[in-house]
Structure formats: C-alpha cells, structure tokens
Chains A and B, each alone.
Chain A
Amino acid sequence: MTSDQSSAGKGSLPGAVTALPADRLYRPSDLSKLAFASTAEIEPLEGIVGQQRALEAVQFGTKVEKPGFNLFVIGPPGTGMRQAVESLLKSRDQRETVPPDWVYVNNFADPQRPVAIDLPAGKAPEFRDAMRDLIEELKTALPAAFESEDYQTRRGAVDEAFQKRQAEAFGAIRGRASEKGIAILRTPLGFALAPTRDGTVVPPEEFNAWPDAKRRETQRTIEELENELERIMRQVPQWEKERREEIRKLNRETAKYAVDQSIEESKALLKDIPRIVEHFETVHNDLIENVGMFIAKGEEGEGMAMGAGPGGPFDRYEVNVLVTQAGRERGAPVIEEPHPTLGNLIGRIEYVARMGVLGTNFRLIKPGALHRANGGYLLLDVRSLLLEPFSWSALKRALQQREIMIEDPARFLGLASTVSLEPAPIPLDIKVILFGDRLLYYLLAAFDPELREQFKVLADFEDDLSRSPDSEMVFARLVAAITRRDGLRPVDRSGVALVIEHAARLADHAGKLTLLVDQIRDILAESDFWAKEGGRSAIARVDVERALDERTRRASRLRDRAQELVLQNVALIDTTGACVGQINGLSVTELGGFRFGHPNRITCRVRPGAGKLVDIEREVELGGPIHSKGVLILSGFLAGRYAIETPMSLFASLVFEQSYGGVEGDSASAAELFALLSALSEVPLRQELAVTGSVNQHGEVQAIGGVNEKIEGFFDICRVRGLTGTQGIVIPQSNVQHLMLRKDVVEACTQGKFMIYPIQTIDQGIALLTGRPAGERGADGMFPADSINRLVEDRLRAFARIRRSFGEDRAPESREGAH
C-alpha cells in the first residue's frame, strides 16, 4: 500500500488531507552534472562557497581607507568565515604597502616618557644593531682615549698645576712651622698643629713644664699658623673646583673626539631618516655628558648616568624594536590574536624586581597585537575580546583616537604604586576585523553605540546554500577539497551523495545545503575512520552512514532514556485509540549539539467560566513567553470564530502532562487548540497521530522548527510498539520543504505503515484527528450539524447560558483562578 492509497483509505471526508508521498519526505542528491567515481577525480573547490554577500562586504570593508570602516564578521560557528577572510586578505596583501617599523628609544630629557620612532620597513633591526655596535665600540674606544698618553699627559698637566699651587702654599706653611718646631698633623677628622721635639709631639706634661713665656710664644706661633692653614684650606675647594672644571673640559674634549668619530660612522648608515639622525645627535650629547660610565673606574668629575633602569647604565642607548617588517618584502601584516588580553592587545610594560623594588625602562615595553598589525589587519574573536577586562574599551579607544597608547591596568586600578612609563603613543592605521556570532553583534549594536562608529561594515555569513544540481556539484568539490586538505580518503559517488543529503538535513531544509563546513569536515573524518576500519581505499556511502549512526548513538543516551520512559508507560503516551481533550504534541530537545524529538501528552479540560483560557505551564512559571503567546492566540481564535453573539463563557485549562521542566516555543499551539476543540466538542482525538505546528488567530497552521526530529521521535515510539498503519504525524504544510527524514521513516511511509499529513488550517487538522468535518458556516450563519465547529459553538453557548443562569456574567475574572 502506498501512502497515497493509505491516506485515501483513511481520508473519506471532503477536502481531506492526504499523506505525503515518499518523494516529499527525503530529497536525494542529484549529481547528474558531475561525472565521477570518487572525489579523487574532482577538481577541489578553491575558496569558499555560497558566501558572496559576505565576501563582497569583506572586500569592501578592507578597501575603504576611511576611519571607522572596520569589519564585524558574523555567522554561525563552523562556516569557515575566518579562513575565508584570511584567505582573501592574503591574496590582496601582496599588493599593499609594507608598513613601517617602530622602535622605542630612551627619552634623555624625560626617561619616564620613551620616544617612539618609525623607520622604513625592515630598518629597525639595522638601527638597533648600529646603536649596539656604537656602544660596544665606545666601550673600548673611550677607555682607550682616556688611557691614552695624550689624555694622561694633559690630565697630568692639570693635576700638576693644581698640585703645584697647593704644594707651594702648604710647603710654605710647613717650612715656617718647621722652623719654629711646629708640625702639621693629620687627625682622623682634619688637621692640627703641635709643638714637636725630635720629630715627636711634645708631651703635655713636658709642655706644661715649659716656662710661661715659651708656652705663650709657642701658642701664639701656633695660632698664627692655624690662621694661615685655615686660610689656605679655605682656598683648596676653589682650587679643587677649578681643577675639576679643567678636567671636565678635558674629558669632554677627549670624549667628543672619540664619540664624534664613531657616531658619524653609525649615523651614516641611516642618514636618510631625519628622526634617527636627530636621535643620534641626542645620544651624542648624552655620551659626552656621561662618559664616566664607559671608563672602568669612573673618571673624577664624571658622574655615572642615573635613571638608566633595570638593565644597567648602557640600557639608555639601546633600541627597543617594538615591531619590524624585516623579511616582509610586500604586503600588509595580517595578525590574529587568539588571547586578546589588554596587554596582548595594546602592549604592556614589564617590570623586573631588583633589590625588592620593581623597576622598568623603555626596553621593557612589549608590543601588542595592535602594534604588530599596525598598517595591516588585526583579526579578533569578539567573544574572547569581550571576556577580557578592559580590552574592548581599549580597542575602541585606540580606533577612536587612531593611536596606540600603552596603559598599565595595575596603575589605574591602584594595584601598583611603582614608577612606571608613559610611552609616546604610536599612530594607528589599522583595519580590525571582528569575528563573532550574530547574537553578540546584535547585542552590541543595541547596547554599545560606539560599535556603529568603529565597525561600520558588517559581513554576515550565510548558514546555508540553495540546493540545486549546480550547488550539489559545487558541494561535491568542497568534499573533495576537504578530503585532500585534511589527508582523508577520497569519497565515492554514493558517499558524496549521502554527505550532500546530510548537509541538507543539517540545514533543516530539503532545498538547502548547510555551509557549516566544520561539521561536514567532522563527518568526513569519522567516515574516513570507518572506511579504514572496513579496509576500503575510498569512503563509501556505508561509511558515511556508519559515521552518522555512530554519532547519533554516542549522543543519544538521553533520547533513549526518554523513549524508554514512554515505552514503559511511565511517561503516558497513547499511540492507538481515541480520547477527548487529549493529544500527542511534539517537542525537540537540543543538548550538546544533539537534537531529538519526543512526544508529549497535552490535555485540556473545559467548564463554564468568564472566558479565560488558563495555560497551566504559565501559571506555574514553567512556560516561556512564546509558549504563553501561543496559548493566548487560541483565545483569539475561539473568540473570533465562535460565540460571536454571546459572551465567551469558557474556563479552559491546558497542560503539558508530565512535563517538569520549562516549555518554550509555540510549536504546540496547534495541538493545544485541537485538544481544546476536542474538549469543547467532546469528540475524541486519534491518539495514533501526533501534531506539531503553531497557529494564528485565523486558524492557519504555521511552520515550526525541528520537524524532522519531531517526526522521528514519535516514529521511534510507534515502531517499537508496532506500526499499525494508522499512525502518523500532522505537520504544517509549510514544513514539508524541510523534510529530510531518516531512511527507516521514509521506508515505513513508503510501505504505508506511517503517515505524514501536511495541513494548512485547523479545520483540516481537526477533521483528520476526529474523522468528522470541521464544518463551515452556512447561509444561516450556523455551522452544519454534527460538525466539530457546530459542537464547539453549541457548547460555548451552553456555557454562556449556564453562567447567565447563575448570574455570574459579571463576576470578576479574578475569581476564575479560585475554582
């Protein structure tokens, strides 16, 4: 028996719904446009498929040279959007200019504010090496200059003149003192004068024994000599100062001679870069002022340079190559930062502990991704970016100000009180490309007004591709490309067909193919494994089937438990018979990327009331807003179709039986309406059918999601209990295009053991479920007798009468809940 015959047999009502034929349940692939035995014979697909809109957006965004035209690339994970963008950028970056190198050098005037200098691409290492060579050379040349005979002779002459002047002064006083038997003595703290005899100081007792006149004379002489000694000593600092000045002048001349020669040679290498020449001049002046650090023991009068930082005194002349394009002959950099912490993004200042104190200098400035990508492209995952504190704000600030300012979070959080740096900002010329899912983009667009200012170009990657013989051919080439790139076995023709069909299933649409390439890649990898296990050189259809089955099996523990509960009558689901106010609804559960459908019993009870339809799920706060909306639509449907001339005097309660978790979505609203109509009409519903679909206030049945899984979920229960030939599913007509059902379901339908009924209206569905026509209003405005609609309307009128008889038509609505 075919499904058509089957439905004809069951559907004896006028305009009755017929079950779908098997060819509407599964669309096999059509590879007629491509002759091949396996993918080894196919030209692999280059680039990306089905993303023309997104790629054009990327092309546009990367070409616009205006501020704020950064890109936000969105799409579902696994579409290969990042690879597509990278591939596109790499193909064009060869035509773009190589950006400059950047270095930080010491700011000799203010070491806390290092100076940033840009150099032509690749020149930074040269500059660093030139400076390093210069200092190394000076480490030899300067000590040699200061040890040279010429210097020593001149220095000796200065010292000698000074010594001579002092020696004359002190020699004179010493001579005078000696003549009078007085000696100048060195004490621990200074100088003293004392009377001597035979070269030794006259002992106090001997001195005291001297005649008064001699003692007074000696004291007077000593006082005179003391005055003279003091006068000379007062002159010594001035002489010393003059000597130091002479030596400083000599040292500068000596240093200048040595430095001039070396620095001119170094400067000549980079003489075309004015800022470098300027820096060399600054270094030149500093070297002359701080020549002491080059002389092993430190020349007198030459202080060591202070504030040089943690690496030693010569650090001040180093060059910190922050970013260099050395080795890049053409094209702009494309940088990806997988861990965009603030430091990784905008750079950071490191510290070293020395003697218990944290210190830093310009050499410890480390580049961030913005530095490395400056002049090119920076690729960031927006979720990672948002998860890192301060990073998103810092990125926007950098783009807004068009410069990279390194900030130390420890400072503005007050976590560190050590002296830090304020490096000069570096001009930023960059194209930032953010990757993320759509939800994040829309949330940011809604809550962060700066997003639109800085990310003006949106590239939205498609989830799927329209299915046609042409696109299937392209997909086959994609399969070939994946297998070759990933080193997998080729896939034979039947295997490719199944992969394509599975791609349609993943797209939830028989007329589309998913563009989630990663999922296809995973399937192929698993199929390759099974082909290997089977000893096949190419992946066959059976391997793909095995891979899909094993995937389902691995993930289906929860589904199996749910089915077990139904089969053991713990979860009550009837698959035979008929019942008033009770129907099988269908729901889909998705956990860890695995979706499965299962039936739920929906029941409805009615009685006279004030026109309220109670959604029990909502009352106990288990129903989500969309579910509640669906139920409220039922009220609208009832009010619009029935009891037009009488007040709605109904109290109805609807519930998902044995549902202990949340219920969301409106895909059960049609089923709920059928249960309500059955309860009102008191006509039983066929329990061998399950229903899915949403409904609007006009009674039109609308599409829902997960139709394949829902059908399969109910089919599995029926199959185990035994297919009766009357079981089936009622689905919205608009969902037929989405059907890509499992092979066993299709086979059962083909054999007439299971039916898929597409409906467009509630009337079609109620007729199918009750075996009675829904009925249309006649010229008299009444529905035909015994029709469902007539029964419903009569019941509602009866409720109205009952209410009137009890005088409750004005009762406050709030009392309904108390019953």
Chain B
Amino acid sequence: MAAATFKRVVLGLHRSVSEETAIGAAADFAGLLRLDLLGLFAEDPNLLALAGLPFGRELRTREGGWRPIDAEQLARAMEAAARRARRAFVEKASSMQLTADFRSVKGSIAELVESLLSAGDIVAVPLPISAAERATAQFSRLFEAASRSAAAVLLLPSEIARQTGAIVAVAATPADTGVQIGRIIAAAAKEEFVLVDAIAGARMRPESLSAPLLSGMSERLVVLTRGAIDEARVQAIASARRVPVLVVEPEN
C-alpha cells in the first residue's frame, strides 16, 4: 500500500495505557502525514459481565488484595475514563488543527477496531508499559484484531524516546513497501531516511530481540513491512527502542 493512500489514523484506547502519551503520539503521526484522526474508546461489556459473576473480583494494583467488583462503580469508572480520554483527545487534536473524531462505544475494543478499519487506515495500538497489561485480553485482542486487519499498524510505546531523529525502514529487500513509505515519511518530517537490512541485522545479536537491527541509530520512527521480521520482535522493538513502529502491509 502506498503512503499516499492512507486516509486516517484510528487510535484504539484501552484502559491499560497512558492516554495522554498515546493520544499525543498518534496525533503527531497524523499531523506529520496530514491524516484524519479517529479516537475509539470502548466501554467493555466483558467487564460488566464479569461484575455479574458470583466469584467476580479484581486484584487491586494500588491497595493490593482482592476486592469484589461493584457493577455500578465499574460503570461509573468507565464513563469517567471515556470522558477523560475524550477531553485529552479533543484538546490535542484542536491544538494541532487535525480533522478528528472521537467515539466512545459500548463493546470490545477489538471488535470495534475490526468493524471500522479499512485499507486506508492506520490503526494505532498503544503498547502497555507492563507485561501484566500486555497479558490482558483487551490488549491481546486489540493487537490481534489490528494485525489481522488490512490496515497498517502503528505501535505506540508508553514512553517516546525522542521527537527528532531518523526514519528507519527495516526491510528484507529495497522493494519492500515499508521502504517506500519510510522515504515519504522522512521527507514529510524532514528527517534522514535509513534503510536497514532485516536479514543481516537479525544475524548480528541473536540473543536480543531489538538491539541488533538498529544498533548505532537515533531514530524517531521505525517502518517495516509485515513479514519482514516476526511479530514478537515488532512489539519488542517498539518497547525497547521506545519509538513508534509502523507495520505496513506488503504491496501484494
């Protein structure tokens, strides 16, 4: 898919990420390519179902220990989270003068994303900071849904290492779609474009998932074509390098 055909960035917000960081990173990316921005917040019915189960309880991360889940309190908390996310989203989009929309919908975030995505979309998936969060059903289903879709996927780390730096494309061949898109983004961002040989890089330090590919670089975005490296390493690159990673579909 050519970069010119991207129309919008769809940001799927879930409860396990820092909303401000995810919204900021998604908006910056949309602004860079002058794309529309759609924010999605799911008020997950699974949680309400959980509250109805007789043994339904939660392990509180702050105070510790298991507590029963109060359905009403849960509903209020989700509404408040939705309002908070909307406010942050609108503020950021306004400040950047983006064409933006925000929807708060009852349903699973994965299903929502799946139902809305089209080929011209980039789905932005915020990566939780902790492994516990990544182990949750909400994140894994969102990630799987995004990966299954025809849209490109933008993985957003919970912290962004730098705002400026090279645009790096990791590709098996120079003809990869990621190379083409990386060049376009680099031109838009007025940054250096660097092409990394995925196959050669993978041989350098096999004990690490992320480092060898990008050793010696100060990048701000990594672009790669789906299939150029395995899925597990994609998340690892985003987390370890703390830069957004854009995964695009191959041309064919």
Q: Which residues of A contact B (CB under 8 A)?
A: 147-149, 152-153, 155-157, 159-160, 163, 165-167, 169-171, 173-174, 183-192, 194-196, 199-204, 207-208, 219, 222-223, 226, 229-230, 232-233, 236, 296-297, 300
Q: Are B208 and A160 in contact (CB under 8 A)?
A: yes
Cα A190 to Cα B16 with chains together (Å): 10
- The one of A152, A184, A189 in contact with B77, judged by C-beta atoms closer than 8 angstroms, is A189
CA distance A590 to B50 in the complex (A): 104
The reply on B116 being an interface residue by CB < 8 A is no
Contact A200 B49 (CB under 8 A): yes
The 9 A-B pairs with the shortest beta carbon distances in the complex, nearest first, are A166-B131, A204-B52, A156-B240, A170-B135, A188-B77, A183-B137, A201-B49, A201-B46, A186-B136
Q: List 30 A-B contacts (CB under 8 A).
A: A148-B218, A149-B215, A149-B216, A149-B218, A152-B242, A156-B211, A159-B240, A165-B131, A184-B135, A185-B46, A186-B139, A187-B50, A188-B77, A189-B62, A189-B67, A190-B60, A190-B61, A190-B62, A192-B47, A192-B57, A194-B56, A199-B137, A200-B46, A200-B49, A201-B46, A204-B49, A208-B54, A222-B55, A229-B59, A233-B61
Rounded to whole Å, the gap between the CB of A239 and the closest CB of chain B is 9
Q: State whether A204 and B159 are in contact (beta carbons under 8 Å apart), knowing that A173-B135, A188-B81 are contacts in the complex.
A: no
Option from A160, A171, A190 in Cβ contact (under 8 Å) with B236: A160
Q: A147-B162, A148-B218, A230-B66 are in contact. List 20 more A-B contacts (CB 8 A).
A: A149-B216, A152-B162, A155-B242, A156-B241, A157-B211, A160-B211, A163-B236, A169-B131, A189-B61, A191-B58, A192-B56, A192-B57, A199-B108, A200-B45, A200-B46, A222-B55, A226-B59, A226-B66, A230-B59, A233-B61
Asked if B74 lies at the interface with its beta carbon under 8 angstroms from chain A, I say: yes
Q: Smallest Cβ distance from B172 to chain A, in angstroms?
A: 23
B50 and A185 contact, CB distance less than 8 A: yes
A156 to B66, CA, bound (A): 33
B125 within 8 A of A: no
Q: Hey, which chain B residues are within 8 Å of A157, CB to CB?
A: 208, 211, 240
Complexed CA–CA distance, A153 and B214 (Å):
9
Q: A190-B61, A191-B59, A300-B159 are known contacts. Are A185 and B47 too (CB-CB below 8 A)?
A: yes
- Chain A residue nearest to B52 (CB atoms) is A204
Which of A165, A169, A183, A296 lies at the interface centre, i.e. has the most chain B CB atoms within 10 A of its CB? A183
Q: What is the bound-complex CA distance between A187 and B240, given in angstroms?
A: 26
Partner of A189 from the list B56, B60, B135, B242 (CB cut-off 8 Å) is: B60
Bitwise interface map of B from 204 to 217 toward A, beta carbon under 8 Å scored 1, else 0:
00001111001111
Which of B14, B81, B108, B131 has the largest count of A CB atoms less than 10 A from its CB? B131
| B240 close to A189 (CB less than 8 A) | no
Identity of the chain B residue whose Cβ is nearest the Cβ of A173 in the assembled complex: B135
A152:B218 contact, CB within 8 angstroms? yes
Residues of chain B within 8 A of A219, CB atoms compared: 55
> Given the complex, which residues of A lie within 8 Å of B81, measured CB to CB?
188
> Which chain A residues lie closer than 8 Å to B159 at the CB level?
297, 300
Give chain A residues whose Cβ lies under 8 Å from the Cβ of B211: 153, 156-157, 160
Complex: A235 Cα to B215 Cα, angstroms: 32
B7 within 8 Å of A (CB atoms):
no
Q: How far is the CA of A202 from the CA of B137 in the complex (A)?
A: 14
**Pick from A169, A192, A207: contact of B69, CB under 8 Å:** A192
- Please tell me if the beta carbons of B57 and A171 are within 8 angstroms of each other in the complex: no
Shortest Cβ distance from residue B167 to the other chain A in the assembled complex, whole angstroms: 15
Provide the bound-state CA to CA distance between A187 and B76, in Å: 12
**B212-252 residues at the A interface, CB under 8 angstroms:** 214-218, 236, 239-242
Contact A236-B217, Cβ < 8 Å, known A160-B240, A185-B137, A189-B61: no
Q: Which chain A residue has the least Cβ–Cβ distance from B215?
A: A153
Using A188-B74, A233-B59 as known contacts, say yes or no to A194 and B66 having CB atoms under 8 A apart: no
Whether, in the assembled complex, B180 has its beta carbon less than 8 Å from a beta carbon of chain A, the answer is no
Closest to B240 in A: A156
Q: Within the assembled complex, what's the spacing in Å between the Cα atoms of A236 and B215? A: 29
A202 touches B49 (CB 8 A): yes
B53 touches A147 (CB 8 A): no
CA distance A152 to B141 in the complex (A): 30
Contacts of A189 in B (CB 8 A): 58, 60-62, 67, 77
A233 to B66 CA separation, bound complex (whole angstroms): 12
Of all chain B residues, which has the CB nearest A148? B218
**C-alpha gap A185/B160 in the complex (Å):** 26
B58 and A147 contacting across the interface, CB-CB below 8 Å: no
Chain A nearest CB, measured from B221 CB (Å): 14
Cβ of B200 within 8 Å of any chain A Cβ, yes or no, is no
Closest to A162 in B: B131
Q: Is the CB of B218 within 8 A of A187?
A: no
B173 CB to closest chain A CB (Å) equals 25
Report the Cα distance A445→B54, complex, angstroms.
95
Query: Which listed residue, B52, B78, B110, B138, touches A185 by the CB 8 Å rule?
Result: B138
